[in-house]
Amino acid sequence: MKTVNMHDAKTHLSKYVEQALDGEEIVIGKYGKPLVTLTPLPVAPKKPRQPGALKDSLWIADDFDETPQEWIDAMEEDIDAHTA
């Protein structure tokens, strides 16, 4: 267990966080009295992804990838106007 004062903890916080993550218990005190303990949070194990989790909750229209002819005509008109 390592005890440090508040000023030292503010100055070297990242160093003490790394030490806590490595398993060392860090106690931060003020005026010689311990106040808090710096300890890492428990890490929850990640669940493996399940294929098909959104099955039947998404819908894509049959004409999703079809561009309306009026859009094509408008773009062609714009190109013709700039090349003339």
Mean pLDDT over 45-61 rounds to: 87
Mean pLDDT over 8-22 rounds to: 95
Which residues contact residue 25 at a Cβ distance below 8 angstroms, ignoring those fewer than 6 apart? Answer: 1, 2, 37, 38, 39
Write down the architecture of domain 2-38 according to CATH.
3-Layer(aba) Sandwich (3.40)
Distance of CA 68 to the CA centre of its chain: 38
Q: Please answer whether residues 40 and 22 qualify as being in contact, where contact means their C-beta atoms are separated by less than 8 angstroms.
A: no
- The model's confidence at residue 50, banded by pLDDT at 50, 70 and 90, is confident
